[in-house]
Amino acid sequence: MQKSRNIIKEYREKKKLTQEELSEMIGISNRQLQRIETMESETKLETLRKIIEVLEIKDKDIVELITKK
């Protein structure tokens, strides 16, 4: 079984941001961002929009991100 991509983490690392820095930028706790990155938690649409905007996630990756289960 192929491991699914961690798109948010990939983009965060490309931007050279720590989880703490990104969580501060989007207004959530560091622990909540950890849960989002590991898909342990559902994400509010507004939070997802902020992540996409800050990390400048490409359209094709957005589709993959929102269709993961």
Domain edges within the chain:
7-67
- Taking only the tens place, the pLDDT of each residue in 10-58 is 999 999 999 999 999 999 999 999 999 988 888 899 999 999 999 999 9
Residues 6 or more apart whose Cβ sits within 8 Å of residue 43:
36, 51
**pLDDT-based confidence at residue 3 (cuts at 50, 70, 90):** very low
Q: How far apart are CA 45 and CA 31, in angstroms?
A: 18
Fold classification of 7-67 is 434 Repressor (Amino-terminal Domain) (1.10.260)
What is the pTM for the complete model shown? 0.83
